[in-house]
Structure 1
Amino acid sequence: MSNIQAMIVNVRVDNLEASLPLYKELAGDVEVMRFPYEDMNLALVGPFLLISGPHEKHISQHATILVESLPLVVDALAKAGAEIVDEPSEVPNGTRLVARHPDGAVFEYLQPRA
């Protein structure tokens, strides 16, 4: 069984409200979950995480990967020689970290709250 539950595509948008209709139509009949994170506004629309706000001080990442166990991810990243660029921390929807893989890809790993 995989530790990975799902992947969420991170989409930076200038105008959250103007962007929502397209992503809602693409995702189908899903509940839009909105929440703030630091100085940004986010909306989870099915497999899309729309991010609006000042992006320049935040690490650009390819996707958010939902996992069963963050400690398993930390072990795998250490074995591979990945760089943890944002240490594990509590966020509104769970515990997250951001890592840069040896190939340069950057991912956020999130263990959702149970």
Structure 2
Amino acid sequence: MSSNIQAMIANVAVDNLDDAIPLYKELAGTEEVRRFPYKELELALVGPFLLYSGPVENYISQAGTVLVASLDPVLGALAKADAEIIEEPHEVPNGTRCVARHPGGSVFEYLQLRA
């Protein structure tokens, strides 16, 4: 049985992306940086780190982003556990995402990347 989870990404709030990116590039051992907007936030994916800057107080803090092959089994597991779906699945620039609060209170973003 293979896992639906493909990777975990640490979400990191930073004051300024340009100032923060060099450290995370060195930590991740990569030169690749994918920058993109999401609503009022600026984001940068650097290896396993998702840096975000902007009015973060307008958003629910998330423990991390879980990259999945399919959202379907995630939604089934969340429903079975009576998790709260904070943001229903919807299209974003890099795929389909949803945000859920687990029964223990942790909040995770689940992202099915666009093929």
For normalisation by structure 2, the TM-score amounts to 0.97
Q: Which amino acid aligns with 1:104?
A: G
| Alignment length (residue pairs) | 114
Contact 2:30 2:46 (8 Å CA) reproduced: no
- CA-to-aligned-CA distance 1:52-101 (integer Å, 9 cap, x gap): 00011111100000001101100000001100001111000000000000
1:33 matched residue in structure 2: 34
2:10 matched residue in structure 1: 9
- What percentage of aligned pairs have identical amino acids? 70
1:61 matched residue in structure 2: 62
Q: How far off is 1:31 after superposition?
A: 1.0
Q: Which amino acid aligns with 2:33?
A: V
3-state SS, counterpart of residue 57 of structure 2: coil
2:101 matched residue in structure 1: 100
2:72 matched residue in structure 1: 71
Contact 2:12 2:51 (8 Å CA) reproduced: yes
Computed over aligned residues only, the root mean square deviation of the Cα atoms, in angstroms, reads 0.6
Structure 2 gap ranges (5+)? none
Once residues 43 and 67 of structure 2 are traced to their aligned partners in structure 1, the CA distance between those partners, rounded to angstroms, is 16
Deviates more, 1:28-37 or 1:95-104: 28-37
Once residues 106 and 79 of structure 2 are traced to their aligned partners in structure 1, the CA distance between those partners, rounded to angstroms, is 15
The list of structure 1 runs, each at least 4 consecutive aligned residues, that deviate by more than 4 angstroms after superposition, is: none
